[in-house]
A and B are shown apart, each in its own frame.
Chain A
Amino acid sequence: MSKELIRLRDVCMAFDDELVLDHLNLYFNDKEFLTLLGPSGCGKTTTLRIIGGFVTPTSGDVLFDGVRINDVPPYQRQINTVFQKYALFPHLNVYENIAFGLRMQRRPDPNDPTGKRKVKIPEEEIDQRVMEMLEVISLKGFEHRKPDALSGGQQQRVAIARALVNKPKVLLLDEPLAALDLKLRKDMQIELKRIQQQVGITFIYVTHDQEEALTMSDTIVVMDKGTIQQIGTPEDIYNEPKNAFVADFIGESNIIDGVMLQDNLVQMYGKKFPCLDGGFAENEPVDVVIRPEDIDIVPVEQGQLTGVVTSVTFKGMQYDIIVDFKGFKWLIQTTDHCPEGSRIGIKIDPDGIHVMKKSQYSGMFGDYSSFSEEYDELDDASLELDEEESGDEE
């Protein structure tokens, strides 16, 4: 299963003196679903374009199956791409879009003993493979439609078919679901995962949507400012974030300054909390992550900490409440209704506490004083897709 297929070795990328990728080291295993996750401008799309061959890294090596492919043009790589907004050829119908790659292919003539003569793929084979693909994406009967006569979801599936019909070893996907509405996006997440398992090749997926990444990936690579913040399975990334950036980017987190008194005991707000982390120096300052769903609300007298509820938002499945603990605002998700202004106590189980070493991101995230704005930003996330690398646009 885990045979290494692609490796990026010390890859740097600079546009106009601006370092977009900073000494990236990363490998991709065969047949895995790997997601590059990060905010706009973190370098994830650039990484994908380097693998696809659309840009050449400023320094470092790109290895495919152990061979350096820095200078191999995209049309000679066994890699195909599903682009943002699909990039279907508008003047060709669905059939011709999918057949495009096959029509470009030349392979050794089976009737030529020297094996030097190249021939086109015969029309019958093209037809058979295109039809097969149409079946996979369940768009049979649409072959004569032009792309602009398809819905977003259908265009999306044609784009996937157009790439997969070439039987690549790796499929690159650049925020392919970003233009779809929420419901369709959820369906397509499952669909994509199914297709990946069915064709059994490596998918490298780029997104800024943490939920998408958690749902589909075998491995998640969290990136920021051109460097890798953490690599791991979705469970690792969510449960054991390495620093405040990862903790904040994946899901909601309260990040509190603490001191690690000893193994399994951390101090916050001058109080001791048992936890399950260890391996820190004695009295080392740390960041403590507490997920909003891991906090139990208890009567004031039983609470490890007490605070005042400053806002309550109904979210359907739960209430999001903001609680002020000595000036630091926490987000707590609870099914109990606590009225605004009331005083509550909280209790945190040892496995609800995750302790991280201090990093450059300490103190930047995890306070919910500006909670509503943060939620707005989350909603806007899908709008700011194009920011990356489009400084040159109208």
Chain B
Amino acid sequence: MKKNNSFLNRLFMVLVFVFLYAPIFLLIIFSFNAGNSNMVWKGFSLAWYAKLFRNRLIMQSVYTTLLVSLLATVIATFAGTFAAIGFYAMRRKVREPLMTVNNIPMMNADIVTGVSMCLLFVAFFNGWGSFAAWFNSLGLFRLPTRLTMGFGTLLIAHITFNIPYVILSVGPKLRQMDKNLVDAAMDLGCTWMQAFWKVILPEIKPGIVSGALTAFTMSIDDFVISYFTAGSSASTLAMTIYGMTKKKVTPEINAISTLLFVTVLILLAIVNIREARQERKRAAELRRS
């Protein structure tokens, strides 16, 4: 009876993993197919990968994705770190409601974030048209009268949804820090800014790096928000893949999806390993004291 039970348990687990990972494995396997079918195996080949790197559209969107992710990560990490310090300095009564507000964008459905940002940009550009017309009539210098969504709006959107992740990963590091450290640094001759560089930053660096990695991962694999905020002039990799599926599905999509999957997987693995290592270190410290 008991044995039977454990067999069912195992079967259930296997099924869960099959459902979760079989599609991805299938995708990866057929990215190496010599033929152009997703069902019939014609032998191993790297042809689709080779083709991928010659595809100007795809390479352009890889470039856009990397650029927007890197820029968004750098800016969001900077802003998020200082925001976290601001939160840390607040009294609890003020901080907790604000932290909840900070967490909403992460819980919120991407599509809602995407559509609302799209609406915001459109509304702003409408207003901008009449403002620019008025400003140009002053004759100081000319402003463009028509703004459209593109790389700029895409970048703003990415920064926006990245900041909460940075705050969330830096905040705990600040709270774990001995609250007298800053006072101690100032006591020994540091101004606040020097104390930040010499004492706070080394203490929260692991949180900042984790936050940046998370933000970068989020940016790389975002589709929905990008789709609504990139306009027609910029396209991220995820958007390009989506565009390609509308035509005939070739294993080229498999190949590019595989690369994206592996990239994100590696990033997530790094984030998780780092966190586990820090957790262990902290536990060891607690045990010692």
Residue ID in chain B nearest A90 by CB atoms: B203
User: A51 vs B189: C-alpha distance in the bound complex, in angstroms?
Assistant: 15
Binding stretch for chain A, among B178-186, B219-227, B267-275: B178-186
Does A333 reach chain B (CB closer than 8 Å)?
no
A166 and chain B: residue at smallest CB distance: B188
Residues of A within 8 A of B285 (CB): 148
| In-complex Cβ contact of A101 among B91, B188, B202, B289 (8 A) | B188
Nearest B residue (CB) for A54: B183
Partner of B178, one of A75, A80, A85, A162: A85
A87 at the interface (CB under 8 A from B): yes
Query: Are A104 and B183 in contact, with the CB atoms below 8 A?
Result: no
Q: A81-B184, A87-B181, A91-B203 are in contact. Are A75 and B190 (CB under 8 A)?
A: yes
> Across the interface, which residues of A come within 8 angstroms of B199, CB to CB?
89
The reply to whether A87 and B178 form a contact with Cβ atoms under 8 Å apart is: yes
Tell me how many residues of B have a C-beta within 8 Å of chain A. Answer: 23
A83-B183, A87-B180 in contact; A73/B191 too (CB < 8 A)?
yes
Query: Does any Cβ of B come within 8 Å of A387's Cβ?
Result: no
- A85 contacts across to B, CB distance below 8 A: 178, 180
The residues in B between 163 and 215 inclusive whose CB is less than 8 angstroms from any CB of A are 175, 178, 180-181, 183-191, 194, 198-199, 202-203
CB neighbours (8 Å) of A80 from chain B are 187-188
Q: How many residues of A contact B (CB 8 A)?
A: 27
Bound-state Cα–Cα, A100 to B186, Å: 11
Contact of B186 among A73, A91, A152, A163 (CB under 8 A): A73
| A83 pairs with B184, CB closer than 8 A | yes
- In the complex, B248 has a CB within 8 A of chain A: no
* Nearest-Cβ distance from residue B187 to partner chain A, whole angstroms: 5
B194: chain A residues at CB < 8 Å are 104
Please tell me if the beta carbons of B202 and A91 are within 8 angstroms of each other in the complex: yes
B247: Cβ under 8 A from any A Cβ? no
Complex Cα distance, B67 from A60, in Å, reads 56
State whether the Cβ of B246 lies closer than 8 Å to any Cβ in chain A.
Answer: no
| Bound-state Cα–Cα, A81 to B199, Å | 17
Whether A335 sits at the interface, judged by CB under 8 Å, is: no
| Residue of A89, A148, A152 contacting most chain B CB atoms (<10 Å) | A89
Instruction: Give B142 Cβ to nearest chain A Cβ, in Å.
Output: 48
Query: Chain A's nearest CB lies how many Å from the CB of B94?
Result: 10
Check if B186 sits within 8 Å of A392, measured CB to CB: no
A378 to B202: give the CA distance in the assembly, Å: 39
Q: A81-B183, A87-B178 are in contact. Are A392 and B188 (CB under 8 A)?
A: no
Q: Does A105 contact B (CB under 8 A)?
A: yes
Task: Count A-B contacts at CB 8 Å.
Answer: 64
A105 in contact with B184 given A90-B203, A91-B202, A148-B285 (CB within 8 Å): no
Taking a contact as CB atoms closer than 8 A, the residue among A100, A152, A394 that contacts B188 in the complex is A100
Q: Provide the residues of chain A in CB contact with B184, threshold 8 Å.
A: 81, 83, 87-89
Asked whether, in the complex, the Cβ of B189 is within 8 Å of the Cβ of A392, the reply is no
Bits for A79-121, please: 1 = Cβ < 8 Å to B, else 0.
Answer: 1110111011111000000001100110000000000000000
Within B269-286, the residues touching A (CB, 8 Å) are 285
Bound Cα distance A80, B198 (Å): 18
| A392 near B92: Cβ-Cβ < 8 Å | yes
Would you call A75 and B203 a contact (CB within 8 A)? no
Which of chain B's residues have a CB closer than 8 A to the CB of A101?
Answer: 188-189
A75-B183 CB under 8 A given contacts A85-B178, A87-B178:
no
Contacts of B56 in A (CB 8 A): none
**Considering the chains assembled together, what is the distance between the CA atoms of A91 and B190 in angstroms?**
17
Q: Is A232 an interface residue (CB 8 A)?
A: no
In the assembled complex, B288 has its CB within 8 A of some CB on chain A = yes
Instruction: For B188, give the chain A residue with the smallest CB separation.
Output: A101
Report yes or no: A74 in contact with B203, Cβ–Cβ below 8 A.
no
- State the CA gap A80–B185 with chains docked (Å): 10
Determine the chain B residues whose CB is within 8 A of the CB of A39 once the complex forms. none
Mask for B213-249, Cβ within 8 A of A = 1, else 0?
0000000000000000000000000000000000000
CA A150 – CA B76 in complex, angstroms?
38
Would A162 and B188 count as touching, CB distance under 8 A?
yes
Q: For the complex, give the distance between the alpha carbons of A148 and B281 in Å.
A: 11
- Residues 276-312 of chain A: 1 if any B CB is under 8 Å from the residue's CB, otherwise 0? 0000000000000000000000000000000000000
CB distance from B234 to the nearest CB of A (A): 41
For B187, the chain A residues whose CB sits under 8 A away are: 52, 54, 74-75, 79-81, 163
Residues of chain B within 8 A (CB-CB) of A83 are 180, 183-184
Distance from B209 Cβ to chain A, minimum over Cβ atoms (Å): 14
Cα–Cα distance between A43 and B243 once the two chains are bound (Å): 67
Residues of A within 8 A of B191 (CB): 73, 75
**Known contacts A74-B183, A75-B186, A87-B178: does B288 contact A148 (CB below 8 Å)?**
yes
* Least CB distance, B146 to chain A, in whole angstroms: 50
Residues on A with C-beta less than 8 A from B183 are 52, 54, 74, 81, 83, 87
Chain B: minimal CB distance from A203 (Å):
15
CB-defined A-B contacts under 8 Å, sample of 16: A74-B183, A74-B186, A75-B188, A75-B190, A81-B183, A81-B184, A81-B187, A87-B178, A87-B180, A87-B181, A89-B181, A104-B190, A148-B288, A163-B187, A166-B188, A392-B91
Instruction: Beyond the given A75-B187, A75-B188, A104-B194, please list 16 additional residue pairs across the A-B interface where CB-CB is below 8 A.
Output: A54-B183, A74-B183, A83-B180, A85-B180, A87-B178, A87-B180, A87-B183, A88-B184, A89-B199, A91-B203, A100-B198, A148-B288, A162-B188, A163-B187, A166-B189, A394-B175
